[in-house]
Structure 1
Amino acid sequence: MKLRGIGRSRNIEDRRGRRGVGRAKIGGIGLLLLLAVGYFTGLDVTPLLEEQGGQSNASRPISAEEERAAEFSAQVLTTTEAVWTQIFDQQLGRQYRPPVMVLYSGVTQSPCGGASGATGPFYCPADSKAYLDTEFFTTLSQQLGARGDFAAAYVIAHEVAHHVQNELGILPEVHRAQQSATQVQANALAVRLELQADCLSGVWARAVGNLLEPGDLEEAVNAAQMIGDDHLQRRAGQVPQPHTFQHGTSEQRARWFATGYQSGMVQGCDTFNTNQL
């Protein structure tokens, strides 16, 4: 992705450099397993991480790799602000209010609960902030097989898409419906919500087409496939259980991203009024 000349967003809350949790006591394989369980099941395993190392408010040096990840994240966020400001105006006749992105290291707190590498990147509608531990990019590339800078950009765009859903009233409506639904019904609604966010990520990708490099779209599609529920359950040695899915299959996630990219229209991302996910 060609980001040279793209400025850093001002909507960044930088909490890095704080020693939120010690991780050293967990072995490498054990840590990866713990993070995977938390991220892909939606369970908050922050307390388990805290037990391993304890909390501290002491500061620590920020590595060059972390700084590069932060710079990249802030630049990608800038592109989402430009894209959604224009789309809200031209397609929806509304004003876009961008989210704040919280960059942190290890563990932090949000109104939606504890945030850590175990929860993965997520959007909290309570404070309209997207939370990102920049170390997740390493996990995405090295452990999940979703390599490339545009794979990381897709993840950021996906979380911003949840903010778009919140701005449009979709997110709170789905959350209200989930409260009175069975677990299976709530999961099905979550899948539609996530697939719509994938589609909206595709809308963003089309709008930043002048910044794309050869292979970028393939990186995003591969990332979508690598984090499909069925793929992750198979990778964990399980038989895929569709009624437990909360994000969609690899095929669905990749297809809805492509749908958004091809149409470039928000109205083309209505995953709630279709029988074909």
Structure 2
Amino acid sequence: MINLEQMDLILEALPDPAFILSRSGKYVAVFGGRDTRYYHDGTGLIGLYISDVIKPEKANWFLEQIARALESRKLVVEEYELSNRDVKGLDDDGPKDPIWFEGRIQALSFLVDDEEVVLWVASNISERHNLEGKLRELSDTDQLTGLFNRRKLEHDLTLHYESWLRYSIPTSIFMFDLDNLKKINDTKGHHAGDEIIQAVANICRTTIRKADTACRFGGDEFVVALPNTGHEQAMQFAQRLHERIREELRQFSVEGTSVTASIGVTTMLTTDRSYEDTLKRADRALYDAKSLGKDRIVLV
């Protein structure tokens, strides 16, 4: 049998910190947190309230999770971040990267000072969270250009289409590919073609807004999604991009042949059954731009 003294030693040896917290947010007890790579000594919190330590918005979130656990009597698991902006008394100029935790909150079957209490175990998951973020970024990114890939585009267009259906927030799309790239590849080699595609990616990055999604759709074909943008503004964006491509890719000209762009532009319509209908219409407009002689914009 384990006696009380031994149980205290076991609790103190826990690598992750375990807090006993009251419904009102009082730190009743703190155990563990012995992995000094991730945690500081939390015993100084005992007797304080979450609102004494954490700024109001985040403190209210903690209290909400405590209430959820007490009312459901089930284990509540939540991931959350804490940074210098959340903790009272810390300089806002401190480390900008937040620390990510997984909180496991369970109601306990006794009272402390006539208040319900929970056990809150906090595990530092920052390394895992950062790794997951990097993996998501890799899965969403085209390796050659650093632009988003088709997978990310389809995800964003799905959300934009839902916004269009629910709130009538328009999203425009322009699809473009590069004219005469094959001749450059045949003359200078595929490394020159890669340089051109990378140059176009840089033009996209410096032309579009933060809310927009620029994607390498495949080969020398690109798609840009412009949320909250109607026909007229989308056309302005396309014209700006078209001119920049024409100007900045002149350096890659071969025997009087320049790399230019053919662009198809469209906006989500009430008749579209999905974002795919919009994308197909942009593709048809691009085909028309090619058929009419390249180096032009077709709006449909």
TM over 0.5: no
* TM-score in terms of structure 1 length: 0.25
More helix, by proportion: 1
* TM-score in terms of structure 2 length: 0.24
Higher CA-based Rg:
2
More strand, by proportion: 2
RCO comparison, higher one (Cα < 8 Å, 6+):
1
